[in-house]
């Protein structure tokens, strides 16, 4: 063992302990700093001894007599003005303290408002809001009142605003809602400087809040000073002890202890904690411990030692320090007037000794194991679990079969409380390390020569002993005293092993999490809801109309106030019926209104209750056919059908009359010359009247037919829905049909009278050829507008170029022929020609000569070039006739179309 100079030994021996102020006495239960001075007249000199002691294991210290409860400190929101102030270190939760009694505003006081102080030191921030044992997500965007709405199950019913303590004016929302309150007005000076607080507004709804809501706030704690981040104190960074604005929140437990040792400033100027100077907390020791806390174990994603705790200012700082040290397996001692700290397992040995270094003439004590009452082979622990909304949770117990066997088969369990450790993996890591360390039973007390004066409590040494079978075995100094007469060092050693604190993520045991409180019951549905198609029957049992029957289990819905239902058409999703049922216990309801036969519907229902309810799913139902017709109504429908047929016959007669007018006109005007503009004007008016009358007649016929078809389908005798909608009684139906028939008869009569007048006029007119041609063209156009049929509906399939010969030798009309549609005549054939060429068109078969049957051909020609020669301004056309053998037997008609000018139409 290395020997030191006498001067150094004297310097160490004569060193006096420094006083660290009020905190020194407070932390006495964690460590001891004992100075004893003894004087005796019987002694020729002085005997002065200084002793240090940190002899308890971490598990034994964690089981100390002053144990704090494991849950959060403020579990419910406090009231009253005598509640001690508090603040949060690290990450924790609090119920807060009401700054004012609950207030309300709005119509019928439907809005309830809490104003809750979250702590006594500015800088705390909200991480989660818990309402009625449920985490409530908060929108990032404030609304017009400056409050942030929540989402989730309380969306639309809760809003919140957080002040971090830096506010300089009264909250505008509180001023606007309660500034003029007659009982407790919120005045301009109600700022809450330095106090972080929350405003929580609740909108009343019985189904959401049936009592005063409870709140809990998850908090990121106050900013703290970290000397490692201060470049003026030996660290690196911009933090400064004198400038709290540069500090940041932290979950490092040794940083928290450091701040408590130096004293935490309160807004009123007081200080909570100690008054240690920076020099009393050597950065080398404290920074090493802080760094050890930040180490991330293998396979983990977070620092190995973190802490969070709500602290009340009436708590002893020593008690809080003890809880924080438990969070990191930490120990702290006063060495020569400075505080030394160590975290986790033992450090590397600072001195190696053998049996020869132990003073043989001094007493040696070996404690191989403790008594059974001080022995443990298993550990339980309780801690606040954030995922259980910060309620107390038991960690998975740690047992060891080998340890139990060594203890005679007994299971000796230590029960721990860890209120400053809200991290389940860290709790298990501490439990595993402590129970392993606890099995290091050996304790030695021995005396070392003066060279051991370099040792300090919490230092580790390596001891190789043939007497005890040690090979550089690690021991930690838990007690030490100096004999100032001989400078020998009395030390207490306890067995340690750094491997006890080795931890990996694979060591983690499963720990199921269950949220506290009672889960809200799920929304109720209509019990056993069903729907089916049915029919309504008359007294004789005949089905008269379709219906939908809804059923459910009435006795299981007795507490519901009612049941609402909807029916929609399956194809269009259009709602056709909706209603409600008050007699829910009956268990059935029949829907007939708006229900048609042979139609697919969908039905759903929902209970009306104080409890939360939801719609049932859509149930598909198809109604059956219902062919019922009242006998009297069926008889009347038959009469109407007969009238409709008679009207159709009259319409056909009118069409034939119109055709006759056209034929007679053509026969009369053939060969006429002169001017008829004056005399023929009356004829033109009469023709226009015929056209209009026929058009009106056709429209009336369509209306009658449509109404008849809508009322009654003669094919199957089935009643149509529009009949029930358009005519509700037999009398009304008769009146409507009668009016249409009368109109039709009037139109037919009018058409016949006009025709008679027209025929009389034809026999008295003699005018010029040009006027007759113009009248003919106009008349043809008007009559053709009535939709007379065309024989070119199939193009040239039934027509050919061949004039004569058997049908089987003829080819369909093609070549240059096209078949456009004329707006007046319908489908026609168009053929280009020349001034010298001939063009033939004939039917594929023949048109029989039937008495009274008239065949008509309409020719329309356009002249496309200048006149060439004397006859180039006329189109000569021939209409010929053939016998049954398709042999030419003569002309029916030969005529010319004379063009008045080039590029004109005839």
SS3 content of the chain, % helix, strand, coil (to 5): 30, 25, 45
Residue 88 near residue 124, CB atoms below 8 Å: yes
Q: Tell me the pLDDT tens digit for each residue of 547-587.
A: 999 999 999 988 899 999 999 999 999 999 999 999 999 99
Residue 366 near residue 442, CB atoms below 8 Å: yes
Q: What is the DSSP string of 320-361?
A: HHHHHHHTTTEEEEEETTEEEEEESS---EEEEEEGGGS-TT
Q: CA–CA distance from 630 to each of 593, 633, 712, 720 (Å)?
A: 19, 5, 12, 13
- State CA 675 to chain mean position distance: 86
Extents of the domains making up the chain:
242-343, 347-368+442-505, 530-623, 786-897
- pLDDT at position 865 is 74
Burial, 789: exposed, middle or buried (Cβ in 10 Å; 0-12, 13-18, 19+)? Answer: exposed
Distance CA(522)–CA(190), nearest Å, equals 43
SS (HEC) of 23-44: HHHHHHHCCEEEEEEECCCCCC
Q: What is the DSSP string of 275-330?
A: ---GGGS-HHHHHHHHHHHHPPPBT-SS-S---EEEEETTS-HHHHHHHHHHTTTE
Residue 160 near residue 129, CB atoms below 8 Å: yes
Q: Please name the residues in contact with 401: beta carbons below 8 A apart, sequence gap of 6 or more.
A: none
Phi, psi for 154 (deg, rounded to 5):
-105, 15
Distance CA(292)–CA(841), nearest Å, equals 112
- pLDDT at position 827 is 81
- pLDDT at position 281 is 96
Q: CA–CA distance from 502 to each of 288, 323, 421, 433, 738 (Å)?
A: 18, 22, 19, 8, 105
CATH topology of domain 530-623: Immunoglobulin-like (2.60.40)
Q: Which two tokens stand for residue 555?
A: 């006795």
Phi, psi for 343 (deg, rounded to 5):
-125, 140
Decide: helix, strand or coil at residue 363: coil
pTM, two decimal places: 0.59
Distance CA(181)–CA(172), nearest Å, equals 14
Residue 417 near residue 430, CB atoms below 8 Å: no
Angle at alpha carbon of residue 872, lines to 870 and 878, rounded to 5°: 115
CATH 2.30.300.10 fits 347-368+442-505, yes or no: yes
Decide: helix, strand or coil at residue 565: strand
Distance CA(72)–CA(385), nearest Å, equals 9
Residue whose tokens read 């100027």: 269
Distance CA(281)–CA(244), nearest Å, equals 19
The runs of H, that is alpha helices, within 400-521 are: 401-406, 424-438
Instruction: Please give the span between the terminal C-alpha atoms of the chain, in angstroms, as a whole number.
Output: 141
Widest Cα–Cα separation across the chain: 179
Burial, 552: exposed, middle or buried (Cβ in 10 Å; 0-12, 13-18, 19+)? Answer: buried
Residue 144 near residue 100, CB atoms below 8 Å: no
Strand (E) or helix (H) holding 172: helix 172-178
680-711 helix and 730-762 helix, angle to the nearest 10 degrees: 160
Give the residue ranges of the chain where pLDDT is below 70: 1-83, 515-518, 629-630, 634, 658-790, 807, 824, 835, 845-855, 868-872, 884
Q: Please name the residues in contact with 553: beta carbons below 8 A apart, sequence gap of 6 or more.
A: 527, 528, 587
Angle at alpha carbon of residue 762, lines to 761 and 764, rounded to 5°: 70
Residue whose tokens read 């957080």: 162
The sign one gets for the Cα dihedral 799, 800, 802, 806 is negative
């Amino acid at each position: 063992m290395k020997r030191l100079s006498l001067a150094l030994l004297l310097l160490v021996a004569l060193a006096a302990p420094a006083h660290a102020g009020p905190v020194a006495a407070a932390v006495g239960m964690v460590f001891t700093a004992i100075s004893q001075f003894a004087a005796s007249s019987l002694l020729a000199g002085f005997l002065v001894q200084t002793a240090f002691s940190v002899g308890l294991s971490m598990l034994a210290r964690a089981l100390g007599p002053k144990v704090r409860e494991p849950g959060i400190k403020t579990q419910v929101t406090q009231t009253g003005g005598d509640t001690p102030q508090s603040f949060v270190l690290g990450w924790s939760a609090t119920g807060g303290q009401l700054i004012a009694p609950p207030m309300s505003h709005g119509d019928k006081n439907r809005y309830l408002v809490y104003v809750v102080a979250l702590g006594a030191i500015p800088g705390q921030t909200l991480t989660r809001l818990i309402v009625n044992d449920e985490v409530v997500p908060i929108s990032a965007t404030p609304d017009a009142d400056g409050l942030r709405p929540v989402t989730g199950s309380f969306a639309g019913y809760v809003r919140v605003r957080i002040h971090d303590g830096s506010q300089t004016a009264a909250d505008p929302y509180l001023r606007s809602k309660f500034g003029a309150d007659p009982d407790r007005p919120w005045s301009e000076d109600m700022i809450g400087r330095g106090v972080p607080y929350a405003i929580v507004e609740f909108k009343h709804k019985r189904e959401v809040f049936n009592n005063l809501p409870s709140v809990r706030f998850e908090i990121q704690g106050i900013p703290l000073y970290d000397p490692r981040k201060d470049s003026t104190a030996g660290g690196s960074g911009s933090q400064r002890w004198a400038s709290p604005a540069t500090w940041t929140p932290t979950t490092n437990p040794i940083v928290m202890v450091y701040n408590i040792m130096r004293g935490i400033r309160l807004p009123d100027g007081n200080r909570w904690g100690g008054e240690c100077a920076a020099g009393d907390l050597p950065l080398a020791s404290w920074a090493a411990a802080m760094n050890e806390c930040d180490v991330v174990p293998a396979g983990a994603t977070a620092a190995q030692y973190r802490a969070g705790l709500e602290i009340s200012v009436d708590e002893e700082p020593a008690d809080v320090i003890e809880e924080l040290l438990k969070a990191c397996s930490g120990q702290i001692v006063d060495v020569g007037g400075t505080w030394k700290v160590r975290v986790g397992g033992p450090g590397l040995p600072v001195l190696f000794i053998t049996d020869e270094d132990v003073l043989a003439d001094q007493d040696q004590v070996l404690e191989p194991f403790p008594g059974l009452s001080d022995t443990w082979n298993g550990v339980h622990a309780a801690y606040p679990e954030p995922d259980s909304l910060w309620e107390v949770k038991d960690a998975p117990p740690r047992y060891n079969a080998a340890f139990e066997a060594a203890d005679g088969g007994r299971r000796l369990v230590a029960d721990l409380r860890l209120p400053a450790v809200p991290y389940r993996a860290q709790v298990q890591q501490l439990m595993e390390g402590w129970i392993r360390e606890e099995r290091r039973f050996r304790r030695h007390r021995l005396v070392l020569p003066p060279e051991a004066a370099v040792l300090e409590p919490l230092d580790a040494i390596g001891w190789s002993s043939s007497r005890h079978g040690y090979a550089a075995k690690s021991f930690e100094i838990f007690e030490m005293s100096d004999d100032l007469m001989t400078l020998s060092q009395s030390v207490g050693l306890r067995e340690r092993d750094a491997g006890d604190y080795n931890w990996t993520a694979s060591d983690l045991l499963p720990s199921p999490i269950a949220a506290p409180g009672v889960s809200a019951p799920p929304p109720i549905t209509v019990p056993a809801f069903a729907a089916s198609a049915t029919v309504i029957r008359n007294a004789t049992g005949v089905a008269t109309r379709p219906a939908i029957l809804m059923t459910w289990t009435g006795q299981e819905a007795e507490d519901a106030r009612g049941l609402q239902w909807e029916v929609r058409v399956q194809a269009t999703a259009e709602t056709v019926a909706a209603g409600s049922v008050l007699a829910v216990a009956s268990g059935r309801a029949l829907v007939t209104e708006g229900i048609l036969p042979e139609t697919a519907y969908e039905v759903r229902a929902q209970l009306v209750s104080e409890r939360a309810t939801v719609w049932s799913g859509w149930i598909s139902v198809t109604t059956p056919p219902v062919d019922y017709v009242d006998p009297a109504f069926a008889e009347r429908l038959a009469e109407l059908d007969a009238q409709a047929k008679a009207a159709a016959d009259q319409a056909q007669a009118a069409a034939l009359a119109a055709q006759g007018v056209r034929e007679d006109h053509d026969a009369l005007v053939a060969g006429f010359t002169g001017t008829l503009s004056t005399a023929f004007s009356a004829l033109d008016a009469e023709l226009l009247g015929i056209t209009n009358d026929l058009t009106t007649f056709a429209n009336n016929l369509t209306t009658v037919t449509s109404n008849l078809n809508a009322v009654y389908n003669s094919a199957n005798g089935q009643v149509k829905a529009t009949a029930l909608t358009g005519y509700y009684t037999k009398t009304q139906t008769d009146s409507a049909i009668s009016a249409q028939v009368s109109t039709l008869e009037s139109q037919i009569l009018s058409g016949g009278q006009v025709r008679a007048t027209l025929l009389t006029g034809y026999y008295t007119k003699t005018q010029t050829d040009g006027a007759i041609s113009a009248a003919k063209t106009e008349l043809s156009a008007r009559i053709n507008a009535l939709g007379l049929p065309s024989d070119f509906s199939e193009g040239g399939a039934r027509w050919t170029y061949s004039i004569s010969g058997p049908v089987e030798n003829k080819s369909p009309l093609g070549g240059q022929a096209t078949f456009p549609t004329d707006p007046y005549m319908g489908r026609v054939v168009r053929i280009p020609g020349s001034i010298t060429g001939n063009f033939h068109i004939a039917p594929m078969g023949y048109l029989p000569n039937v008495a009274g049957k008239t065949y008509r051909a309409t020719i329309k020609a356009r002249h496309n070039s200048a006149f060439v020669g004397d006859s180039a301004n006329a189109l000569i056309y021939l209409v010929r006739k053939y016998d049954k053998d398709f042999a030419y037997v003569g002309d029916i008609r030969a005529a010319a179309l004379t063009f008045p000018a080039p590029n004109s139409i005839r």
